């Protein structure tokens, strides 16, 4: 098991390198010249001389390979350069905003787990019953409604009409309710249906029939046997749906004026603040890699039969 974990850790390195390469390539395939983007953001008229000077300052006149190696060295020190807009180190700006985004993402994750596990299990046990119907309706709704629109709807009902919760901002737990609901609904929709079909599949297995004939109570069968196995696809789903969570935070932070990294990224796009965009892309890629690794390790923990080849031994 230890060697498997070690191998997986080593395998992460080329993927991270590839992520840095993509991040680096972004600059060179984009039609926007970074030097020009900087000058535009700083409100300086881009005369050829100033452009030349800035290009030299950013090292853009160096050979591509040299530039890439320098980029790698900088990233390894968590140095993502200086924001074109604020003239402050990007990492310092990101550090300030990350907690808000993490708070939002975690609360949404938590809510989606708390809601979707009982809902998914109940929908499977009471197949075609009212809970199943409800969960199906909720899933269709959650999966198909655009997040920004859901955000507006929630603000309209709970803030403007009922005056229960604040429209926007951060500070109290009330501020967290609507953004969390908006972000978690799509996840609830996915996880509930995933768990439902997974539980239904397990209920057909012979070990369940055998346990029933042994007279073991239904609740014990469900919690001790079925759920333990049925939860595996849900964990995979969580890793796979991280993208939804990331893009979700961008939209939700914008709609609810949540002062996080996602909103900062949107502003960076509007202002062509390339170092910030690069930093976001790189961190997002790393997050995906780390999450995939974690999902695999959790599977390994849950199913020790997984060999170093990464598949179940027959």
Q: What is the CA radius of gyration of the chain?
A: 24
Residue from 43, 77, 305, 311 binding other proteins (CB under 8 A)? 43
User: With binding defined as CB under 8 A, does residue 266 bind other proteins?
Assistant: yes
Determine which residue in the list 155, 189, 245, 277 makes contact with other proteins, applying CB under 8 A.
155
Retrieve residue 125's tokens.
């046990």
d(CA 295, CA 237): 9
Up-side HSE of residue 305: CA atoms within 13 Å toward CB?
Answer: 5
Residue 128 CB: number of other CB atoms within 10 A?
A: 9
Work out the burial of residue 14: count CB atoms within 10 Å of its CB; fewer than 13 is exposed, 13-18 middle, 19 or more buried: exposed
For 87, residues 6+ apart whose C-beta sits below 8 A from its C-beta are 42
Shortest distance in whole angstroms from residue 67 CB to other proteins: 21
Of 67, 152, 203, 240, the residue at the interface with other proteins (CB under 8 A) is: 152
**Member of 9, 25, 42, 302 binding other proteins (CB under 8 A):** 42
Residues 6+ apart with CB under 8 A from 296: 8, 310
| One character per residue 293-312, x = contact with other proteins (rule: CB under 8 A) | --------------------
What are the residues whose beta carbons fall under 8 Å from the beta carbon of 225, sequence distance 6 or more? 202, 207, 208, 211
Kindly state whether residue 29 participates in binding other proteins, applying the rule CB under 8 A. Answer: no
24, 58, 256, 282: which one contacts other proteins (CB under 8 A)?
256
Q: Does 259 bind other proteins (CB under 8 A)?
A: yes
Q: Which residue has the tokens 């609360």?
A: 107
Pick between residue 44 and residue 302 the one whose CB is nearest to other proteins: 44
| Residue whose CB is less far from other proteins, 9 or 114 | 114
Instruction: Mark residues 160-199: x for contact with other proteins by CB under 8 A, - for none.
Output: x--xxxxxxxxxx-x--x----------------------
Q: Which of 276, 283, 288, 286 is nearest to 16 (CA)?
A: 286
Show contacts with other proteins in window 77-116 (CB under 8 A): 85-87, 96-97
Q: Is 163 helix (H, G, I), strand (E, B) or coil?
A: coil
Which residue, 158 or 282, has its beta carbon nearer to other proteins? 158
Distance CA 278, CA 269 (A): 10
Binding of other proteins by 36 (CB under 8 A):
yes
Q: How far is the CB of 143 from other proteins (least distance, A)?
A: 23
Asked if 38 interacts with other proteins (CB under 8 A), we say no
Written as six digits, the tokens of 95 are 């550090």
Q: Which residues would be at the binding site for other proteins (CB under 8 A)?
A: 31-33, 36-37, 40-47, 50, 85-87, 96-97, 151-152, 155-156, 158-160, 163-172, 174, 177, 254-257, 259, 263-264, 266-267, 271-272
């Amino acid at each position: 098991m230890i060697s498997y974990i070690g191998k997986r850790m080593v395998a992460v390195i080329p993927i991270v390198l590839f992520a840095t390469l993509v991040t680096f390539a972004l600059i060179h395939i984009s039609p926007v010249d970074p030097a020009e983007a900087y000058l535009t953001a700083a409100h300086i008229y881009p005369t050829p001389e100033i452009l030349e000077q800035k290009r030299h300052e950013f090292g853009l006149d160096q050979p591509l390979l040299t530039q890439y190696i320098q980029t790698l060295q900088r990233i390894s020190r968590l140095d993502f350069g200086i924001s074109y807009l604020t003239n402050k180190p990007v990492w310092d700006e990101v550090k300030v905003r990350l907690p808000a985004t993490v708070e939002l993402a975690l609360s949404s994750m938590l809510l989606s787990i708390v809601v979707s596990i009982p809902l998914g299990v109940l929908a499977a046990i009471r197949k075609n019953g009212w809970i199943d119907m409800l969960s199906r309706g909720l899933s269709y709704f959650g999966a198909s409604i655009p997040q920004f629109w859901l955000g507006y709807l929630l603000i309209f009902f709970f803030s403007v009409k009922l005056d229960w919760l604040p429209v926007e901002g951060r500070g109290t737990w009330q501020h967290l309710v609507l953004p969390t609901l908006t972000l978690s609904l799509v996840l609830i929709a996915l996880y509930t249906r995933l768990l439902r079909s997974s539980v239904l599949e397990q209920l057909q297995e012979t070990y369940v029939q055998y346990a029933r004939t042994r007279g073991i109570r239904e609740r014990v069968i469900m919690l001790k046997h079925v759920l333990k196995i049925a939860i595996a696809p849900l964990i995979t789903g969580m890793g796979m749906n991280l993208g939804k969570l990331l893009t979700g935070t961008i939209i939700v932070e914008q709609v609810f004026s949540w002062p996080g990294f996602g909103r900062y990224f949107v502003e960076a796009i509007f202002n062509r603040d390339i170092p910030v965009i690069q930093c976001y892309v790189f961190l997002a890629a790393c997050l995906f890699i780390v999450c995939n690794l974690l999902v695999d390790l959790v599977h390994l923990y849950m199913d020790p039969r997984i060999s170093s080849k990464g598949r179940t031994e027959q």
